[in-house]
Structure 1
């Protein structure tokens, strides 16, 4: 009697909801209940799916079908509640993102039903996607701008310092005051740019990550594309290599792309003009390997054991006097570990460095 009452309440809620409510009989492999919102979300006849549940798999995006099958096996095998997100293809090839919350119903330890709610999260997903893209491009653009401004500001500061150090303007307080002002402004503006770049990255270790399924190839290509566009101004060449056109993994896109951006930025900092920086992505089955390599000055052997420590003795200025904040590599390691991954490197002084990131898909 209690089961019937609970089902009745579930159906009443479902009949009033804009989300999809469902009850799936696991033993019979058929749906017992689909509310009216099902047809609005999936753009399929509810009656046809009640009679043939396999029709649902046909509307799943081709790149996500393997994911959906694995999710179903996980939920029915482990018999625990789960949330899944994947894409479906509706009429006119329109793609929707949906979130499925599944709750197994057991009887004497045996799985009897799967009940749950399906939400159309396309708008939120699209908005989040654009926010992440804007954030990644902002970080990359600031990094490029900092390199564009750094050298002229440094040259102005150097010229002014030279004027201040000789006796040409001795006794001319007004000129000396103006020169000191110019020198201070150069130093402050370089520091301001660097603070803007590092502020969000430095706070990353204090924020929990929110992992979602994302195409790593697309995300990394978007970041490296900005560097390739500006490579003439940066005086370095950038190369991206991947044998796969698409490669999905569960990541916090915003923070993971901050890691990639920071590694590229470090390569720029320690690679002389006309040097090269390469980013490579490899599919290793259950994991993904990302390599960021350069032919820069490398890391001295005596500093290598301390590289991932906060405020370690390994922090150094860049080739053009760029400041080292001592937190970057520590935060990179933290973010990678929050993704259940690992990071390591190989480096030979005066020959370059390669950083490796391996994360589970």
Structure 2
């Protein structure tokens, strides 16, 4: 068993190279990933396998050997990664492991270190990895779907509430101008709710590596941001400041998605911020980029939570934080939309400066048309 373990350790690069070439030949989705992303956690699974073989003493029942637990973490991580890689399916993940098993078996036989015991340990190790990767993949896809649906469902409440408010305050003796304004407010909010419902239906069909569908067009994005500002002033009792040194910012954007992003940040600012200080929406432009900031004062986000707040997939049950989860539902959307525009999102939060979410967007990162966004995986 030690000879097999040593061979796997010595030939790990060769094993992974052969595995990668066969996977690319047999699994279409593998060709969509970079070499580093393709190998992902499989290199660590291979190291785990060598360690299991090295320590197996031959006395324990191989199907109940506790050291198989070592391989679980990396195989779970492998499944989560594949869930954020385009076009993967459970079938393709299992095929990856079948190829992995065959490459190892062929090498061990060729070097004359394959025994019945080695074969059984190899079989149970890879079966354990297959089971956990497939489970993690399915759970992650379901989590993506639930988060996207949850975000959309959460966002639908605002326009429906606005429409309800417009209808509720209509009085039989209102003058024509007031009735027209309330009608416009209600129709605008209901149209927005219909847009979000279409996105909700779209999110139900999400697949591996996919996020929300977005529709890019040449627009003035400042107009969309000002729309959110005007609506926020109508809905909330907070004071708002709109700070922009330009009158228009044209580029290729998804206006609906940007509106939803700003609405989420404004809603969070109202929910978690102080009512005694204004919420500021600030916009800056240079030749190729747009910077949008939403700032509020109040209780800051803890320093240790500021990196975790944008994570898409779960952080593990032991790290669940209800405050982070509450923030994170909308921030999942914020990060996805920013990245789809070739940009990023940052947060600075402390007692002195308040909490500022900064969204960086590229004005010409996309061509006009509809696309399904991809989810960028990050273990950290």
**TM score, norm. by length of structure 2:** 0.39
Please say which structure displays the higher CA radius of gyration.
Answer: 1
Structure showing the higher strand proportion among its residues? 1
Q: Which protein is richer in helix relative to its size?
A: 2
Which structure would you say has the larger RCO, counting Cα contacts within 8 Å and 6 or more residues apart? Answer: 2
